[in-house]
Structure 1
Amino acid sequence: MSEEIDKLRWGIGCLVGAALSYLLGEESRINAESLGRVIRVVQIKDSSLLFDTASIVLPLIVTVSGIVGSNKGLKLESSKVKAVILHETTSKCILKPCVKNEVDNRGNSVEVCSWKEEQKGSHTVKKEVPWYLDDGTSKVFVLNAESASKFWESVGRHVGSCKSQILPVRGTVVDSRQKEPDVLVKTTVTTQPLLITGTPLTVIGEAVKDRSGRIRIQQPERGPFYVSRKNIDELNDEFAGVERSLKCVSLVLSSCGIFLIGMHTFQCIKKRFFKQKSCKRCGHRINSEQRSSQLTECPLCREQANQLDRAFRG
């Protein structure tokens, strides 16, 4: 009975997984179709010509490729490169003294003071400067890149910097003349660059023109928004491959689910059929009760003996 229930559960689970895989495949197909409607800008200098048709096509979704640049990048102490987006994490922990009595080599008891971390806390601040894509012909600025799809897959693992500082909360730094050392605070500042200048990127989003005439790409209210190292053709091929894979997974899971549920249904019907058959009387009667009790099956129809006994008692 438990095996039949397990088959039913596995069958239902396979069908649910098939449905989810199919929906994810449809989402990839929709993403690929949305990329197919994007206007491709070959050279950034020609992007200003697109605004002549902006009254007809809104929002104006374009794809632009270029090198990341900035007029005032964020300098890093650990390297000569400049970042346009970085995260600065400040961690603080309180160090409290912990005095222990230990025995030295001569057998004398010596007080040893060590520091113990008791409280910890951290917060992260994002720093970003205006940056643009430059393909050699012109520049286009990009806004809110962190909210774009594929952004976190495109940022590199660049070497950051880490600085630590220990300061007393009160008094001066601990010396040997103090009976009880002061409580110290250890501050660690870690700088992790996310996007540095000179990185080749492709941005897909809504192109708008500000009051100064500069063109910028931002997240549209409806439509794709991508920041990736891959160009639009590579993204389209990626979505198509994901769609095919998920559709195949959905087909396999649905086949397994139907097979398991069908096997469970067949076993239930078979079990019910044999149960009804075992309760049916064959109708043959043996005159001798002693002889019928020794038989294991009916000598005429070869049915089970319990059916024969019921017929005899009736």
Structure 2
Amino acid sequence: MYFLNDVVSDIGVIDSFIIPDVISLYLALIAVEVRAGGDNSDPAMPTVIKAAVYLSCGAGVFYLLGREIKRRANYLSNILRVIELKRLGDYLQGDTTNILVVVSGKVGSAEPLNCKQGLLSVFVEEKAKVHFEIKLESGHLIKRSLNYLLQQNETSWYLEDNTGRVNVVEAESAVGFRDILNKYPLNIPSSEIFKKLVKPEGFKVLKYCCHESALNIGASLTFVGEAVRDKAGNIMIQRPKDLSFLVFGGEGSFNKMVSHRKANAEIYIFFSKVCGTIVVAMAIMYGVHFVRKFLLPFEWEKNKDLRKRSEKTISDSAAVQSMKKKKKKKKRKKKKMKMKMKIKMKMNLQLHFVLLNL
């Protein structure tokens, strides 16, 4: 989510074709899940199907988002980069009245402002944050915080390098302008802060803090905007009509931003490939089972009957073999008994003859 908000705020709104694609993909996969999950005879299959659906949705979202970020990064990297400001006039000759460019330079002004930190600036803003509570008639306390502007001053300024300068118009509307301001804490008496603040009954200040935001002279900035000539023929950088007006602080910040976007795009595409690979592996593992379970139910039942019959045949054959073994044991016992009887009769006859001889 961080990268999505970052892209929208820095580059502009993502193209509208992505959202319908993602929604269509999600609905199609949910439909497959509903159809396949109708038979709950195998409790493991619905879980596998849900996991495959979620991974497929994740792969689609990651791929579309990565592709869009990469497309935007490539678009920004292809914008005309003006290395020297003196050459900016060469691009605005003939029929070319405006052109999208990337310009870099340091902040300068003919009439700089003095901020309370003793630094020269072209934009100074003082804000206060107040934490307060209000006691209602019922006795309940409501705690709130309020941010409000104390004062704001600005002077005309420009970007300059060793070769020339160019004016910047409406820089406050550029995306990222608040990030390039330097913030300093201020010690302002509470009476000066609250003299213009309308206080309701039961209002009580808990704590407050003030800070000053300033764009200092000499700060290195990079603008992505439209280069045009004003009525006097001077070149200036302004907000494009159909694109976002971007500003970055620090030297080489624009190149770092583009490379960072491309790296993020590759990460998203890599995640989409990982999710897709897992889905394919799950499809291979459970594909045969899915086909036999849902597309060939009669064959499945037939195989069940065959398995039951084979198991019954095996059990019957085992019972027959056990009966045969029992019969063999009985025959052996009978033979042993006959042999014992014969031996006993012989011994009795011999004893009888011995007694007669005596």
TM-score above 0.5:
yes
* Matched residue, 1:248: 270
Matched, 1:199 2:223: no
* Matched residue, 2:123: 84
Distance 1:42 1:299, change over 3 A: closer
Note the 1:126-141 alignment, pairs <5 A. Answer: 127=152, 129=154, 130-141=156-167
- In structure 2, what is the Cα distance between the partners aligned to 1:165 and 1:221? 43
- In structure 2, what is the Cα distance between the partners aligned to 1:7 and 1:260? 8
- In structure 2, what is the Cα distance between the partners aligned to 1:32 and 1:281? 61
Q: Contact (CA 8 Å) 1:34, 1:223: kept in 2 or not? A: no
Q: 2:103 aligns with which of 64, 80, 89?
A: 64
Provide the alpha-carbon RMSD of the alignment.
3.9
* Matched residue, 1:239: 261
Matched, 1:159 2:184: yes
Deviation for aligned residue 1:12: 1.6
Distance 1:14 1:95, change over 3 A: closer
**1:54-78, CA deviations, whole angstroms, 9 ceiling, x for partnerless residues?**
x24x640111111123344454324
Q: 1:18 aligns with which of 25, 41, 59?
A: 59
- In structure 1, what is the Cα distance between the partners aligned to 2:182 and 2:309? 85
User: SS at 2:231's partner residue?
Assistant: coil
Paired residue type of 2:99:
L
User: SS at 1:211's partner residue?
Assistant: coil
Q: Contact (CA 8 Å) 2:182, 2:215: kept in 1 or not? A: no
* Matched residue, 2:147: 123
* Matched residue, 2:304: 278
Note the 1:48-59 alignment, pairs <5 A. Answer: 48-53=89-94, 55-56=95-96, 59=98
Paired residue type of 2:165:
K
Q: Contact (CA 8 Å) 1:35, 1:224: kept in 2 or not? A: no
**1:199-231, CA deviations, whole angstroms, 9 ceiling, x for partnerless residues?**
211112111222233322122123464312335
Distance 1:223 1:92, change over 3 A: closer
Q: Contact (CA 8 Å) 1:162, 1:188: kept in 2 or not? A: no
- In structure 2, what is the Cα distance between the partners aligned to 1:301 and 1:21? 59
Q: 1:28 aligns with which of 52, 66, 69?
A: 69
Distance 1:93 1:36, change over 3 A: closer
Where does structure 2 lack aligned partners over 5 or more consecutive residues? Answer: 1-41, 195-200, 318-358
Q: Contact (CA 8 Å) 1:84, 1:131: kept in 2 or not? A: no
Where does structure 1 lack aligned partners over 5 or more consecutive residues? Answer: 97-115, 170-181, 285-295, 303-314
Distance 1:151 1:265, change over 3 A: farther
**1:123-150, CA deviations, whole angstroms, 9 ceiling, x for partnerless residues?**
3348462432111333222234455455
Paired residue type of 1:159:
Y
Structure 1 length normalisation: TM-score? Answer: 0.65
- In structure 1, what is the Cα distance between the partners aligned to 2:170 and 2:61? 31
Structure having the higher strand fraction is 1
Q: How many residues align?
A: 257
- In structure 1, what is the Cα distance between the partners aligned to 2:214 and 2:289? 59
* Matched residue, 2:21: none
Q: Contact (CA 8 Å) 1:34, 1:224: kept in 2 or not? A: no
Matched, 1:227 2:247: yes
**1:92-143, CA deviations, whole angstroms, 9 ceiling, x for partnerless residues?**
63577xxxxxxxxxxxxxxxxxxx9855352334846243211133322223
Distance 1:297 1:257, change over 3 A: same
Between the two structures, name the one with larger relative contact order (CA 8 Å, sep ≥ 6). 1
* Matched residue, 1:210: 230
Deviation for aligned residue 1:165: 1.0
Q: 1:190 aligns with which of 201, 210, 216?
A: 210
* Matched residue, 2:50: 9
User: SS at 2:188's partner residue?
Assistant: strand
- In structure 1, what is the Cα distance between the partners aligned to 2:255 and 2:141? 52
Structure 2 length normalisation: TM-score? Answer: 0.58
Deviation for aligned residue 1:36: 4.1
Structure having the higher helix fraction is 2
Paired residue type of 2:213:
P
Q: Contact (CA 8 Å) 1:10, 1:260: kept in 2 or not? A: no
- In structure 1, what is the Cα distance between the partners aligned to 2:164 and 2:141? 53
- In structure 1, what is the Cα distance between the partners aligned to 2:214 and 2:52? 45
